[in-house]
Chains A and B, each alone.
Chain A
Amino acid sequence: MNASTSSRRSMLDRIRTRPLDSNPLPKVDPSRMTTYADPVQQFVETLGTVGGQAHMIDRPEQIGEILNAIEVFAKARRIASLVPEAIQGDLDPSCFDDPHGLASLDWVVARGEFIVAENGAIWVDGGSLPHRVLLFIPQYLALVVSRSQIVNHMHEAYERIGVPTSSFGVFVSGPSKTADIEQSLVLGAHGCRALQVFMLP
């Protein structure tokens, strides 16, 4: 048909005309890997080292209290919240057809599915977001998770996801950052400038 089809054939032919002895695919055994006596503590510590801030809370209402004490939140004009029981946002992102309309967002409060102790990562399922860009475009991001939804390491994490059902999913570990200028770490490269993680029971 076209060039790409003939390239497909030639690439596959080149590989198949050179069969190689293959070792079996190794089994990855999650039970062999390091676990933590207190995974929540490990998560909180690691999140701190990657620039995020964890808040232990008992009720969703506390989220508003804590956020209001943060100056950049109190002064924020445009807030989108996907966790209405915690924060009422100023705008409903699902009303936007074009994600470009979300460019001026100051804050987004979104939900994380589970957390990973070893690296301070939070799994966010794209299915929970009206627009993917909500995680990346606001100046500040707050994620709400349950601390009972925790895994030790990435092996348990992928086991837990199982088969991905959403077209997008992301592990977020700390705020957006760069060290591209002389290895000086700067938080807030393109995405959020800071990351607050609220940990419900």
Chain B
Amino acid sequence: MKLPIVDHPTAARPFVTNPKRSQWHDKALWFVRSKRDKQAGGVSEWEHLRELASKIKTHTVANLADYLVQFEQAATRLGATVHWAADAAEHNEIVLKILKRHETLRIVKSKSMLTEECHLNHFLENNGIEVVDTDLGERIVQLRDETPSHIVLPAIHIKKEEVGETFHQHLGTDEGASDPKYLTEAARQHLRNKFLMGEVGITGVNFGIAETGGLVVCTNEGNADLGVSLPKVHIACMGIEKLIPRFQDLSVFTRLLARSATGQPITTYTSHFHGPRDPDSELHIILVDNGRTRLRGNAEFRDSLNCIRCGACMNTCPVYRRSGGHSYHATVPGPIGSVLSPTRDAKSYKSLPYACSLCGSCTDVCPVKIPLHHQLLAWRKELVGRGLLPVSKRVSMRLASMLFQRPRLFAIAGKCGRTALRVLPHWMTHNRLNTWTIARELPNPPRESFREWYGRNRNED
């Protein structure tokens, strides 16, 4: 599939030119980040846990084939059916085949970024199957025909008044209602019926355990559990990087995940599935590659496979907080998305590694210690090497390089700049053409450059 080229600054414009919304979004996410800090600070072995998590994941990725086979064998022994999907299309076909075999018309699905990545919803809908996203945030974006703007908080970009409008239209709630309690209650009633009518439950997977063949799904709402404990068929869609070797390893990740994601000590429900519910039920586990084995082969960006999708890097990112998740035009936005997306298609996503101030906050909060801002910088280098920089940047970089190589020219340019800043009227330097000065003042130019000062004061020795 050929993807359109995403230009992050252009895509972010509608959001950032609405300062009220941008600031509201910024604050909402900073609130989550602050809760995370409180929880992380409350665990004195936090850094030790991050170190452990990073080592466990790196070890798993290195030995991925062995662990996948071990997982498959253990899960099969428990009575689950394990499927392998090389790409999104194959994943979707496998799901459809299972649904067709059961003559399914309605499914309920809990949050799964993998099924978003595979565009499963539209595929199934095109095949005549009703798909109901049961996570409240996902249901909101589904009813609005949007996509999640955050991997943990899918509707973080939507105001309660807008949710009220959507629910008024689709669920018949009172017009103008915006009380979150009232709206959540309406969604509860609406989704109860959907749960009871769901013929197959689909979930994502937070952790697959190679040793036991089990899987763990974490939610706060209980929607994954309700969705799979009523119907007889449970389909679990799992990226192959979700594996961990031992049952005991869960202790490290369950301590890190919710604290990093939403600042809770653990998710409300941390559910462990080992095989199907009973002899009449089915558990299907689909192991999906979709570019992951290729990413594993890339030494520079391999660490991004360690991601446990907590979203902490988004909550802390100054660019994400102000530009909104949709500006990335990617299933996974934010810092981790800006590393992952170009590994799929460097040309389409070439602007994302630049949607970053290199502040390094994402690296600091990442529970599995992915060096995110180093990877974003590495991407920039890679993009230059591949000639994927826009002309404006290429030309200006070349000019800068020329200037820096010629000391005399550099001195003259500096002098011109200092003089120009002093003599030019304000409107000449601060106008629409100079985007840098839209919200900034230029500094007062010094009388002389450092080199001039040095020449005067230090030349005698």
Interface 1/0 per residue, A10-25 and B, CB below 8 Å: 1110111010111111
Are the C-beta atoms of A176 and B136 separated by less than 8 Å?
no
Docked Cα-Cα span, A134 to B163, in Å, equals 30
Interface 1/0 per residue, B213-255 and A, CB below 8 Å: 0100000111101100110000000001000011111111011
Residues of A33-49 at the interface with B, using a CB-CB cut-off of 8 Å, are: 33-34, 46, 49
Docked Cα-Cα span, A188 to B187, in Å, equals 11
Contact of A173 among B44, B58, B265, B293 (CB under 8 A): B265
Is there a chain A Cβ closer than 8 Å to B413's Cβ?
Answer: no
Is there a chain A Cβ closer than 8 Å to B277's Cβ?
Answer: yes
Are the C-beta atoms of A26 and B56 separated by less than 8 Å?
yes
Docked Cα-Cα span, A100 to B65, in Å, equals 40
Are the C-beta atoms of B59 and A25 separated by less than 8 Å?
yes
Is there a chain B Cβ closer than 8 Å to A175's Cβ?
Answer: yes
Are the C-beta atoms of B254 and A12 separated by less than 8 Å?
no
| A154 in contact with B296 given A23-B62, A121-B270, A132-B225 (CB within 8 Å) | no
Q: Which of B80-88, B113-121, B344-352, B394-402 contacts A (4 or more CB under 8 A)?
A: B80-88
When distances are taken between beta carbons in the complex, the residues of chain A under 8 Å from B192 are: 103, 190
Contact of B220 among A24, A176, A181 (CB under 8 A): A176
Are the C-beta atoms of B155 and A25 separated by less than 8 Å?
no
Shortest CB distance B149–A (Å): 12
Contact of B223 among A23, A186, A189 (CB under 8 A): A189
Is there a chain B Cβ closer than 8 Å to A69's Cβ?
Answer: no
Is there a chain A Cβ closer than 8 Å to B371's Cβ?
Answer: no
Contact of B248 among A28, A131, A180 (CB under 8 A): A28
Docked Cα-Cα span, A116 to B155, in Å, equals 31
Q: Which of A72-80, A84-92, A105-113, A163-171 contacts B (4 or more CB under 8 A)?
A: A163-171
Contact of A164 among B63, B137, B191, B214 (CB under 8 A): B214
Residues of B292-306 at the interface with A, using a CB-CB cut-off of 8 Å, are: 293-294, 296-297, 302
Contact of B90 among A7, A157, A176, A184 (CB under 8 A): A7
| A11 in contact with B240 given A167-B78, A168-B274, A181-B180 (CB within 8 Å) | yes
Contact of A178 among B58, B221, B240, B254 (CB under 8 A): B221
Is there a chain B Cβ closer than 8 Å to A120's Cβ?
Answer: yes
Docked Cα-Cα span, A164 to B51, in Å, equals 26
Shortest CB distance A45–B (Å): 11
Are the C-beta atoms of B249 and A180 separated by less than 8 Å?
no
Is there a chain B Cβ closer than 8 Å to A119's Cβ?
Answer: yes
When distances are taken between beta carbons in the complex, the residues of chain B under 8 Å from A132 are: 225, 229, 277
| A178 in contact with B62 given A7-B86, A171-B270 (CB within 8 Å) | no
Are the C-beta atoms of B188 and A20 separated by less than 8 Å?
no
Is there a chain B Cβ closer than 8 Å to A142's Cβ?
Answer: no
When distances are taken between beta carbons in the complex, the residues of chain A under 8 Å from B124 are: none
Interface 1/0 per residue, B42-76 and A, CB below 8 Å: 01110010011001101101111100110000000
Docked Cα-Cα span, A7 to B273, in Å, equals 25
| A189 in contact with B221 given A131-B229, A181-B184 (CB within 8 Å) | yes
Is there a chain A Cβ closer than 8 Å to B170's Cβ?
Answer: no
Is there a chain A Cβ closer than 8 Å to B267's Cβ?
Answer: yes
Give the size range of A's interface with the partner.
35 or more
Write the chain A residue with the least CB distance to B134: A190
Is there a chain A Cβ closer than 8 Å to B383's Cβ?
Answer: no
Are the C-beta atoms of B94 and A4 separated by less than 8 Å?
yes
Are the C-beta atoms of B248 and A189 separated by less than 8 Å?
no
Write the chain B residue with the least CB distance to A21: B62
Shortest CB distance A53–B (Å): 15
Are the C-beta atoms of B268 and A14 separated by less than 8 Å?
no
Is there a chain A Cβ closer than 8 Å to B92's Cβ?
Answer: no
Are the C-beta atoms of A176 and B221 separated by less than 8 Å?
yes
Is there a chain A Cβ closer than 8 Å to B320's Cβ?
Answer: no
When distances are taken between beta carbons in the complex, the residues of chain B under 8 Å from A171 are: 254, 266, 269-270
Are the C-beta atoms of A26 and B52 separated by less than 8 Å?
yes
Are the C-beta atoms of A50 and B268 separated by less than 8 Å?
yes
Are the C-beta atoms of A8 and B226 separated by less than 8 Å?
no
Docked Cα-Cα span, A158 to B248, in Å, equals 6
Is there a chain A Cβ closer than 8 Å to B28's Cβ?
Answer: yes
Are the C-beta atoms of A183 and B28 separated by less than 8 Å?
yes
Contact of B65 among A16, A28, A157 (CB under 8 A): A16
Interface 1/0 per residue, B27-53 and A, CB below 8 Å: 010011000000000011100100110
Are the C-beta atoms of A159 and B212 separated by less than 8 Å?
no
Are the C-beta atoms of A28 and B251 separated by less than 8 Å?
yes
Write the chain A residue with the least CB distance to B60: A25
Are the C-beta atoms of A12 and B68 separated by less than 8 Å?
yes
Shortest CB distance B246–A (Å): 8
Is there a chain B Cβ closer than 8 Å to A56's Cβ?
Answer: no
Shortest CB distance B195–A (Å): 7
When distances are taken between beta carbons in the complex, the residues of chain B under 8 Å from A120 are: 265-266
Is there a chain B Cβ closer than 8 Å to A135's Cβ?
Answer: yes
When distances are taken between beta carbons in the complex, the residues of chain A under 8 Å from B160 are: 181-182, 184
Contact of A119 among B55, B64, B181, B266 (CB under 8 A): B266
A-B contact pairs, 22 of them (CB 8 A): A25-B246, A28-B251, A99-B230, A120-B265, A155-B251, A158-B248, A167-B78, A168-B274, A169-B272, A170-B225, A170-B270, A172-B268, A173-B265, A176-B268, A180-B153, A181-B155, A181-B180, A182-B160, A184-B160, A190-B222, A191-B221, A191-B269
Query: What is A's interface to B at a CB cutoff of 8 Å?
Result: 3-5, 7-8, 10-12, 14-16, 18, 20-26, 28, 30, 32-34, 46, 49-50, 99-100, 103, 116, 118-121, 131-133, 135-137, 153-155, 157-159, 161, 163-164, 166-184, 186, 188-192
In the complex, the 5 A-B pairs of residues with the closest C-beta atoms, listed nearest first: A191-B222, A180-B137, A119-B265, A189-B221, A22-B62
